[in-house]
Amino acid sequence: MSNVTKTKIMGILNVTPDSFYDGGRYISLDKAFKRALDMYKEGADVIDVGGESTRPGSSPVSADEEIGRICPVIEKISREIGVSVSVDTTKSAVAAEALKCGAVMINDISGLSFDKGMAGVAAEHKAELVIMHIKGTPVDMQKNTIYNDLIQDILDFLAESASIAISEGVDKSRIIIDPGIGFGKSIEQNYAIINNIERFTETGFPVLIGLSRKSLISRLYSSEEDRLPATIALNAVAVSRGAAFIRVHDVKAHRLAMESIDFLKKTGSSV
C-alpha cells in the first residue's frame, strides 16, 4: 500500500436553479466564483461545474442555455484560481465550449450514451473523461431499476463506453469510471455498489464515487444536517475500498476525513 496517493476531491458547483441540494444558490457569477474559491481553499482538487440538473425527474435544457450558465463561471475560475475544472454535461457542444473556456475534464453522466460526439471532443482537447453508468435518463431513471446482475451489468456498460472512447482517440490514462450511484438504482442497489467497489477498481481505471447527500442517505435521516456524517462515512468506505475520486458538496469536511483514510491506506498492516 506504499504507492497509495491522495484521494482526489471533486467539489460540486451547480449553477442551476433546480439541483436537488444546492439549486439556485450559485446562479450568479459572483456567487459561483466565491463558492469555487472557497472549495479550492478547503482542499478541492477539481471543481465540477454543471449547468443542467440531473436529479431524478429533471428536464433537460438547451445547449445554448447550458453554455450561457457555465462558461463565464469556468472561464473566471480557470483564469483567477487555477484549479482544475470539470464540466458536468452530456452534450458534446457544451463540453467543447467549456474546454475552450478552460475546463480540463468532462464529467458525462450518460457514459457517452446521450451524445455520440462526446468522445471525439474529449480526444480533440486531450481532456480527462469521466464515464458514468446510468439506466434510462434523469426524467425516468428511477422507474426501472431491474438488472440481470447489478454489478456485472454496470461493468459491461462502462467497459463498452470506455472502449468507444479509446477507439475515438481518448488516451486510456485519461478515462475515469463512475458506477453512477443514484442514477437508475434502488437504495439497496446503491449500497451494493459501495460494497463492490473493488470490482470496479479491477478494471484498471480510476473510480469516481458520487453519493454526496443523495437519496441513499437522505431517506435514512429527516434532517438535512444529519446527512453529512453519513456522506463522509460512506465516502470513507468507498475510498478504503479503492475509489480514487469522491464528488462532494462539503469539501473541507471530506478533506479532513480523507487525510486520515489516506494515511491509513498508506501505512498498511505493518510498521
Of 200, 197, 225, nearest to 213 by C-alpha is 225
Helices 63-80 and 29-42 pack at an angle, to 10 degrees, of 50
Measured CA angle at 129 (ends 201, 182), to 5 deg: 65
What Å distances lie between residue 237 and 86, 97, 205, 243, 261, CA to CA?
A: 24, 36, 18, 9, 9
Of 252, 127, 238, nearest to 191 by C-alpha is 238
List the grid coordinates of 252. 473541507
Q: How far apart are the first and last CA of the chain?
A: 12
| 247 is annotated as an active-site residue | yes
- Beta carbons within 10 angstroms of residue 180's beta carbon: 25
Say how far apart CA 237 and CA 232 lie, in whole Å: 9
Say how far apart CA 263 and CA 269 lie, in whole Å: 12
List the grid coordinates of 193. 455498489
Q: Write down the catalytic residue from 35, 91, 174, 247.
A: 247
Residue 182 contacts residue 190 (beta carbons within 8 Å): yes
Element (H, E) at 230: helix 227-240
Q: Write down the catalytic residue from 214, 227, 255, 265.
A: 214
- As annotated, the active-site residues are 214, 247
